[in-house]
Amino acid sequence: MKIVSPAEWITQPWRNGGGVTHEVFREASASERSDTFTLRVSVAEVTRDGPFSRFEGIDRWITLLEGHGFTLHREGGPPRVIDRAFEPFAFPGEAAIDCTLIDGPVRDLNVMADRARRDVRVAVLAPSGGALVVGAESIEGAKLLVFVLEGSIEVRGTTLARHALMITEARGIELVGAARLMVIWATPIR
């Protein structure tokens, strides 16, 4: 089990130069270029309207963390308003998308996966003081990631505070506390 706290995030510019992101987790092979990955979790600081960076072959989920929200203008589709925190929205990374902020800057959580190498499921769960048992798939190389959206949880005697990320390959892990969590199941595609 690995825990990544906000103090360990790696801040970097967006691929399109329009802002910054805090990389929380990146899974990539040693032979890959620095701008490629199999699985990535990041928190973006969005301070102005503009286009999203494109990621060919990548499935994306975006979730509002802080702020009033934004509208995604998609090529060939109706606009999508994201103004409720902790509700993931999935879209293909190669889509042409422009973002318009709603009344000021936002922070959002991004989960991105190479669709040819990882099958990913994302859900928001909210244990309310009791225990919740979650686990990775029973497949070699499967991972479970848990991002604390709000509140805190305890895992095997370790407290995960707001915006901490846990990465494990455990088949069953007990989460105890009152929190809202983004749970990410990532299974290799063979």
Domain-terminating residue out of 87, 114, 141: 114
Together in a domain, 95 and 149:
no
- Which domain-ending residue is among 114, 138, 159? 114
All residue ranges of the chain with pLDDT < 50 are none
Residue 22 to residues 6, 97, 109, 125, 137, Cα–Cα distance (Å): 9, 20, 10, 23, 27
One domain, residues 151 and 66:
no
Q: Are residues 77 and 11 in the same domain?
A: yes
For residue 165, the model assigns a pLDDT of 98
Return the closest-CA partner of residue 111 out of 182, 167, 14.
182
95 and 22 belong to one structural domain: yes
3-state class (DSSP) for residue 82: strand
The reply to whether 6 and 72 lie within a common domain is: yes
Name residue 178's beta-bridge partners.
128, 152
DSSP state of 8: G
Closest CA to 134 of 157, 168, 163, 179: 168
CA distance 80 to 74: 8
Q: How many domains does the chain have?
A: 2
8 and 77 part of one domain:
yes
Same domain, 127 and 91: no
Rounded to whole angstroms, the Cα distance separating 155 from 141 reads: 21
Same structural domain, 11 and 94:
yes
Please report, as a single letter, which amino acid is at residue 98: D
Are residue 63 and residue 123 in the same domain, yes or no?
Answer: no
- CB-count exposure of residue 43 (10 Å: 0-12, 13-18, 19+): buried
The pLDDT value given to residue 114: 95
Domain boundary among 68, 89, 114: 114
* pLDDT at 14 (0 to 100): 79
- Mark whether 8 and 102 lie in a shared domain: yes
Q: How far is CA 179 from the centre of its chain?
A: 16
Residues 136 and 79 both lie in one domain: no
Residue 20 sits in the same domain as residue 85: yes
Owning domain of residue 34: 2-114
pLDDT for the residue numbered 132: 85
What pTM value is reported for the model? 0.92
Domain of residue 63, CATH code? 2.60.120.10
